Homo-oligomer: A and B are copies of this chain.
């Protein structure tokens, strides 16, 4: 992890451009580089730096190791009027989402609820770009994906689950949608690495060391230890649901299978993603928006309560250049030399 203390100013467009250029030099075609650079620059725009430029070296490494196809041509298949399947062609997820989500949204708007599965893909990004895209069609969205085993089932000391993020969005026409995106692990791997870098401890209940003992030292969790699910046995049940949806329903690798086939180049393994889009207009009927706004109004009036995703959306409003990690930009420039 590089030193975050020295930053430099870049516009969102500049962030997009250096990302795209670096990806093309390292094996992406125009369409894939564009889709990934959009995802990366949106993350920096929103202040979600852990999914911004920070991910570019990982994308590059995964092409250089021969694992991921930077020129993948994802194919969208309409299986039924409610079921879309995208074959990612061994590439990154952003282009698969870019092609599939308009069809998922069309299906959900026509029939009320629809699912989209992505197979044969490598998911390096957050999940909120896709659930937010679904919400932009005035649909509720749900997305989840598995990872390699780093999280133990509640009560156990051996990892089986991935950090297994789950994202949910709710449309608020005329306003920014409510969107959250969370690891179903007590902490994501990224947050643990940041705690290691910054010499911080983590709360008990975050993970176990290599001997299966509770620890507050993040290094003991990342070096041979395991992460606990969030929220004890209930969070473990949610984490398991993510495995069953994003591998069992999708027909792709469970976390334990992903680990067996991966080349361990440091990036995510091949896997699947599961998405649902739901039309409140079609199911609840007219007036759904007024109704749900009453709920948000009530929530935001409660002292101490907050709507998930609002910080990202506030950050987004600024037209100013973003402060990005200068050392990271230097690394990306070096990687862009090929």
Contacts and interface: CB of A to CB of B under 8 A. Distances in A.
A80 B282 contact: yes
Contact of A115 (B168, B278, B295, B305): B278
Contacts of A257: 294
A280 B280 CA distance: 24
A250 B113 CA distance: 13
Given A115-B113, A182-B234, A302-B158, A250 B284 contact: yes
Contacts of A292: 244, 248
A117 B282 CA distance: 12
A302 B115 contact: no
Contact of A250 (B156, B244, B283): B283
Interface string A291-324: 1101100110011111010000000000000000
A83 interface: yes
A79 B238 contact: no
A276 interface: yes
Number of copies of chain A assembled together = 2
Contacts of A184: 234
Q: Which 3 A-B pairs have the closest CB atoms?
A: A231-B231, A251-B284, A83-B112
Contact of A230 (B234, B248, B249, B254): B234
Contact of A288 (B155, B248, B282): B248
A285 interface: yes
Interface in A117-136: 117
Contacts of A278: 115, 245, 249
A235 interface: yes
Interface centre among A155, A230, A284, A287 (most CB of B within 10 A): A284
B248 A280 contact: yes
B305 A160 contact: yes
Contact of A114 (B82, B154, B170, B287): B82
Interface in A224-261: 230-235, 237-238, 240-241, 243-245, 247-251, 254, 256-257
A87 to B, nearest CB: 12
A111 interface: yes
A127 to B, nearest CB: 13
Nearest to A185: B234
Tell me what chain A mostly uses at the interface: helix, strand, loop, or mixed.
Answer: mixed
A102 to B, nearest CB: 18
Nearest to A289: B248
Given A230-B232, A230-B234, A295 B79 contact: no
B249 A82 contact: no
Contact of A283 (B79, B157, B237): B79
A303 B154 CA distance: 11
A137 interface: no
Contacts of A115: 112-113, 278, 283
A37 interface: no
Contacts of A60: none
Contact of A81 (B81, B243, B291): B81
Contacts of A193: none
Contacts of A303: 156-158
Nearest to A83: B112
A219 interface: no
A72 interface: no
